[in-house]
Each structure stands twice: as C-alpha cells, then as structure tokens.
Amino acid sequence: MTNLIDPFQRTITYLRLSVTDRCDFRCVYCMSENMQFLPKAELLTLEELDRLCSTFIRLGVEKLRITGGEPLVRKGIMSFFEGMGRHLESGALKELTLTTNGSQLERFAQPLFDAGVRRINISLDTLDEAKFAEITRWGRLPQVMRGIDAALAAGLRVKLNTVALKDFNEDELFTLAEFCAARDMDLTFIEVMPMGDIGNENRLMQYWDLSDLRDTLATRYTLHDLSERTGGPARYIQLEETGQKIGLITPMTHNFCESCNRVRITCTGEIYTCLGQEGKSDLRGPLRSSETDAPLEEAIRAAIGLKPKGHDFDYSRQTLGGQMSRHMSHTGG
Ligand code: SF4
C-alpha cells in the first residue's frame, strides 16, 4: 500500500483532528459568548473517529494531534485515546498528542499518559487570574494550574501555547518564560494578525509583533536561533541561561510550505489540506457510505491529491461575526 504523497511530493505523516466544536471556555478571540454548537448527528461518532484515524495510520500517518474546541470535554473521548493506544503499541503510530485548554487535565492527565500520550500542548495566555477570567470569559486559572501540575506529575511533557497580545500579556513575557523554565516546559508564542476594529473585544486583541517580543527577550537572555523545524510554522530559539526552547509562530510565514507534512480534519469530517487555505473535502459521506474503508481511502487520496503548494496565510478572511473562525491557540505548531 502506498503512502499519502501529494502532487508536490510531500508525504503526509501528520494528522490534526478536531473531535468537538464545544469548549468549556469562551475565549474572546475564538468564540462568542452564546455559541450555537453543531447538532450531534453532524459530528463524527467515536467509532467513526477511530476508523478515520486508523485508516490514516494505515496510509502512513505517524503523528496524530487531537484538538477541539476542547477535546477533553467530548463525552467518552478517553475510550478513543485508549483505542489509539493499539497503534502506538504496534509501532505504526509514533506520537499521539493533544492540544487542550488544561481545564480537564486534573482528571485526565494520568489516563492520557496510560493511553500512550507523552506530550501535550496547553493553550494559556496569562498567569494572572483576573486577566485569565477576562480573556477566557468562563475559565478559571486555578483549575488550569491544577491541570498543569497533574500533567507534569503524570510524566507528560508540556508545551504552553500563548497568543501574544500587546496590551494583554506583553508585561508577562518574563514571568511566562520563567514559569515554564522552572517546570521544564516549552513555550510557544503565536502572533495574531494586525486587525482593525473587530468589535467589543478589540481592546484585548492588540497585535504584538513577535520580532519585538524576541528583542525584549534578548534584553535578559542570550538567544540562539535553532534550525529545528517540525514541518510546521514554528521557529525556535533557545535561551542560553535556562536552556529552554521558545517557539515563535507568525501566521504570515509561509516558508515552511515546501516541507508541510500535515492535514487537518474537523469534527464533522471535513479535511483541510492546507492550514492557510479554505479548500476542503468531505470524508464523513464516504465514511458513512460503507462498512468497508475503501470509499474513505479513495476520498482521502483524492483530497491529498488536491493539496495546494502553499498559502498566503491571510487570517483576515477568517473573521466570523467579528470573531476568529479558527481557534488561533489551537492552530499552533
Ligand atoms: S481558544 Fe481554545 S480554550 Fe478558548 S474557547 Fe477556543 S477552543 Fe476553548
């Protein structure tokens, strides 16, 4: 069986899969306060998620990242993680990971580790309780802190994904770096697009240029650029004094396209083959049309055959009623 190779000879080995559109937070840049979520019938069932991932793994996917919404609020999701453990055991899947807001980790960190997860990304924009409540609307920081502690205690490697917002967390740059260094956690900053007025939340949504962030870091630390790339948009620098690695993701960057090894699937089974373009194909129809995986496999191959060469990463196309239609803190890496 041949692997998934796109028209530009890039082999697809990394799948990012959203398992729910729901979340227990309402981050101002991601969701409105009164979200209408999808009817259950539109979502892939846990069994369908398993079939889908197992098919991709059979076709050569070696890394699977589970996202949302908040993946850990999906009912029964641990059984899905446990099921994926069999692909880790067989060696076909090399890494099973997730991006989470951390709210459910106190409960789930150990079961995730037991299922074979070794690294997780936690989206966290501030270490200040009041600011955290303001930006997530419904979130409470102590709950996430307990989640981080539980993740570290379980033996999970943790990376924080932080959306860089000038008037919001610029003053926490060193605090965040030190917080991560003290816990041996990685840290990645995600730049937002400079935006005009996006409504009542724009006070928090101030563009913070990551080259400016880097210059500020350099006032206290000796920085080394790392050549390491993961096939994604992050660049890494290392702080000599702490040894820690800090990732920088600038959405405008498109110089990783030639090594892009990833595709993304929504919780309704739509496959997006390029992070910065809206082109998509449906996999739910083929998945539901047959008990065998042949139509699904054919649809996957057809979608990969349409993967574009690159993108222009114009996030301004993604506003939806004044909100970002894609979860910025969840697109990182
Ligand atoms: S950014 Fe993440 S944590 Fe915040 S509302 Fe969106 S999905 Fe939830």
DSSP state of 299: H
pLDDT for residue 5: 94
Planar angle of CA 321, 133, 139, nearest 5 degrees: 80
Distance CA 284, CA 115 (A): 26
pLDDT for residue 252: 63
pLDDT for residue 198: 47
pLDDT for residue 233: 78
Indicate whether residue 26 lines ligand 1 (CB < 6 A): yes
Half-sphere exposure of 132 (CA within 13 A, CB side): 19
Which residues pair with residue 96 across a beta bridge?
A: 64
Atom of ligand 1 nearest to the CA of 103: 3
Task: Look at phi and psi of residue 36 and say left if phi exceeds 0, alpha if psi is from -120 to 50, else beta.
Answer: beta
Residues near 61 by beta carbon (within 8 Å), at least 6 away in sequence: 4, 12, 13, 14, 15, 53, 93
Distance CA 46, CA 86 (A): 15
pLDDT for residue 282: 97
CB atoms within 10 A of CB 197: 8
Give the ranges where 59-172 is alpha helix by DSSP (H). 77-90, 105-115, 129-136, 141-154, 166-169
End-to-end CA distance of the chain: 29
Residue 206 confidence class, pLDDT cut points 50, 70, 90: confident
- Cα(29) to ligand 1 centroid in Å equals 8
- Cα(70) to ligand 1 centroid in Å equals 7
Would you tell me the crossing angle of helices 141-154 and 129-136 to the nearest 10 degrees? 100
CATH of domain 14-331: 3.20.20.70
Distance CA 219, CA 204 (A): 25
- Cα(7) to ligand 1 centroid in Å equals 34
Question: Has residue 34 got a pLDDT over 60?
Answer: yes
Atom of ligand 1 nearest to the CA of 68: 7
DSSP state of 77: H
The string of pLDDT tens digits covering residues 249-293 is: 987 665 678 888 999 999 999 999 887 777 899 999 999 999 999
Residue 1 confidence class, pLDDT cut points 50, 70, 90: low
DSSP state of 206: -
- Residue with CA nearest ligand 1 atom 7: 69
Indicate whether residue 124 lines ligand 1 (CB < 6 A): no
Amino acid, res. 85:
G
- Cα(330) to ligand 1 centroid in Å equals 8
Question: Has residue 237 got a pLDDT over 80?
Answer: yes
- Residue with CA nearest ligand 1 atom 6: 30
Indicate whether residue 31 lines ligand 1 (CB < 6 A): yes
Residue-level length of the chain = 333
- Residue with CA nearest ligand 1 atom 4: 27
- The whole model's pTM is what? 0.90
For a pocket test of ligand 1, which of 19, 32, 327 has the largest count of ligand atoms closer than 8 A to its C-beta? Answer: 327
Give the ranges where the chain is alpha helix by DSSP (H). 46-58, 77-90, 105-115, 129-136, 141-154, 166-169, 173-182, 210-218, 284-289, 294-304, 328-331
- Cα(26) to ligand 1 centroid in Å equals 6
Indicate whether residue 69 lines ligand 1 (CB < 6 A): yes
pLDDT for residue 279: 82
| Per-residue burial over 312-324, b = 16 or more CB atoms within 10 Å of its CB, e = otherwise | ebebeebeeeebb
Indicate whether residue 74 lines ligand 1 (CB < 6 A): no
Q: What is the mean pLDDT of the segment spanning 132-150?
A: 97
Residue 197 confidence class, pLDDT cut points 50, 70, 90: very low
Distance CA 115, CA 93 (A): 13
